[in-house]
Structure 1
């Protein structure tokens, strides 16, 4: 894979477009070479955005505003195969989670529908029954109160979507016996690591395969634009009662406030996992694919049985 950016620069402009409102635009540029090259990249991205007619015109221009506004991510680690080739990189995203970036395996996240009010009531019992002892609210286990945190099926609409998604994954693996498929349960859905595809993140083949499992459309766009599959390796801060990294106002690892946040986040992450392995089918992965899988599974604590966050 191509090296991820080590240097970032930001361009901000307030621009008025014909027949549209005034926009305060922010574009980030990146480079693996220098800050100066990152600055040029940011300026070129800004010019493309302006030439396209602004954010409201991008749908018809083929230029996507969200990926053009990619946010700076601290490069934490590069992962190389035995021969020295770069096969993955780990970055810190805008809210502080570590993210795996790779083109060696296809990664697809599939979100479940949000829990409805009725689903929550079904899980916890009604208010009156909890107040006056007529229901099971007080004696519910942690798994019953929040089944998603333990990788279990929720009641109601979300639970039905859970079952349909598992059936969809089973159908996908049956139709693609040539592919290795590892299925994980995340806090909010499922993650698939698919081996043997030979499909680059920006390829039509990748888009086709991810579409078959109903992967998120925005995720597919980001894979195409950044030419990398992405998988969160550590918890979302708000799920472990830690403030968001972006609220610090700094992205410099040398800053004390940055280091203090990382230590606080690390301690709060100690007793949770990101996803849970629930199945594996198909041929054995290659050596490089296995390297990525092992890294992923260690980081997310896939077989720990810990609460998902």
Structure 2
């Protein structure tokens, strides 16, 4: 796991009568900003040489802060370091706990509406409205059918699903929790702490340290039906990750000044605005919990690294409180 403190970007351009090549590369360091710039310059120069020699490689690295490019570390603001664990702030303002060897898995419990609108059905109604309008020589009738029926169906559908959502979400969580308990029963050597989240459950393995790139972690994430992108990023960045402060929209935090849509390192013109946004966000955070501890499953064995991360995780998440989840 590599999460550097300093970041810099280098831009190189090569012009010839035949073509112009522009290359951008990130550089990073835990030593200094100057060292990060030196790394960026070196990576940009290496990329330029490869392109000019005929290799087909990406000229600009993507803006995704987490796992977009092979070999590029997590690019987020480092808030604090705790032995091997690092707390960062992600692009939408939440704090995230990153650890190189303590297993986390988020297992969401998505629900599907009892009624669903199929795009093909909507298209059929629109076509029918056009046909009827032409046949009856009435554009008004055609529009009423093509627009009115889908709108009315959507209105009824949303109303029904809104009433059924609490029950459907509870049922989905029950099914997921049963699957988690089944996994624990078939892996008695595991010690799992189970936390409820707004979208499902979070699991923390306490009995051993894990290699995020190893087969054991990959198999467990797959068996637990954890998010596929999360599993991929764990292996790519050699770390496990858990959000430990609320999502701002779930708290109802809607300041007049919006969070700038930029990623770390932030452009100078966004820094003060982002700091004001974060200050307002942090003022509301204590009223919510990110997850809630509900039960322990399996073995009583506790690995010291896992216990250290658990204590930090539970404190940051307010996992032992009765605060609303967000």
Q: How do 1:259-274 residues align onto structure 2 when only pairs under 5 Å count?
A: 259-274=275-290
Equivalent pair of 2:209/2:306 in contact (CA under 8 Å) = no
Partners of 1:248 and 1:257 within 8 A in 2: no
Pair 1:293-2:304 in alignment = no
Normalised to the residue count of structure 2, the TM-score between the two structures is: 0.67
Is this contact kept in 1: 2:194–2:204, CA < 8 A?
yes
- Output aligned runs, 1:26-105, within 5 Å: 28-33=26-31, 34-40=35-41, 43=44, 66-68=68-70, 72-80=75-83, 87-105=84-102
Q: Which secondary structure state, in structure 2, belongs to the residue aligned with residue 307 of structure 1? A: coil
User: Could you tell me how far apart the structure 2 residues matched to 1:112 and 1:91 are?
Assistant: 26
- Verify the 8 A CA contact 1:27 1:45 in the aligned structure 2: no
Tell me what 1:116 maps to.
113
CA distance in 1, matches of 2:267, 2:25: 22
Distance 1:31 1:163 in 2: 45
Q: 1:239 to 1:44 in 2, by over 3 A?
A: farther
Q: CA deviation at 1:95?
A: 1.0
CA RMSD of aligned residues (A): 3.9
What residue in structure 1 maps to residue 186 of structure 2?
A: 175
8 A contact 2:190–2:205 mirrored in 1? yes
Could you tell me how far apart the structure 2 residues matched to 1:237 and 1:94 are? Answer: 12
Of residues 256-265 and 66-75 in structure 1, the stretch that sits farther from structure 2 once superposed is 66-75
Question: Which 5+ residue runs of structure 2 have no aligned equivalent?
Answer: 14-21, 60-65, 117-154
In structure 1, distance between residues paired with 2:46 and 2:235: 16
Q: How many residues were matched structurally?
A: 262
- Summarize the alignment of residues 1-309 of structure 1 with structure 2, pairs less than 5 Å apart: 2=1, 4-10=3-9, 28-33=26-31, 34-40=35-41, 43=44, 66-68=68-70, 72-80=75-83, 87-116=84-113, 118=115, 154-156=166-168, 158-240=169-251, 241-242=253-254, 245-247=259-261, 251=265, 255-281=271-297, 282-309=299-326
Partners in 2 of 1:211 and 1:175 — Cα distance?
Answer: 15
Unaligned runs of 5+ in 1: 15-23, 56-63, 81-86, 120-126, 138-143, 147-153
Judge conservation of contact 2:67–2:233 (CA < 8 Å) in 1: no
Q: Return the structure number with greater strand share.
A: 1
Partner Cα separation in structure 2 for residue 4 and residue 65 of structure 1: 12
1:264–1:169: structure 2 CA closer, same or farther, 3 Å change rule? same
Partners in 2 of 1:10 and 1:220 — Cα distance? 28
Contact 2:3 2:74 survives alignment (8 Å): no
In the TM superposition, what whole-angstrom CA distance separates every residue of 1:181-214 from its partner, at most 9, and x where no partner exists?
0011111111100122432111121101111101
* Local SS of the residue matching 2:316: helix
Distance 1:118 1:89, change over 3 A: same
Structure 1 residues 250 and 171: alpha-carbon distance in aligned structure 2, compared to 1, 3 A threshold: closer
Q: Cα 1:267–1:229, aligned 2, differ >3 Å: closer, same or farther?
A: same
Give the distance between the partners of 1:4 and 1:249, measured in 2 at CA. Answer: 14
Conserved? CA contact 1:3–1:32, under 8 Å: no
Sort the Cα spacing of 1:211 and 1:35 in 2 relative to 1 into closer, same or farther, 3 A.
same
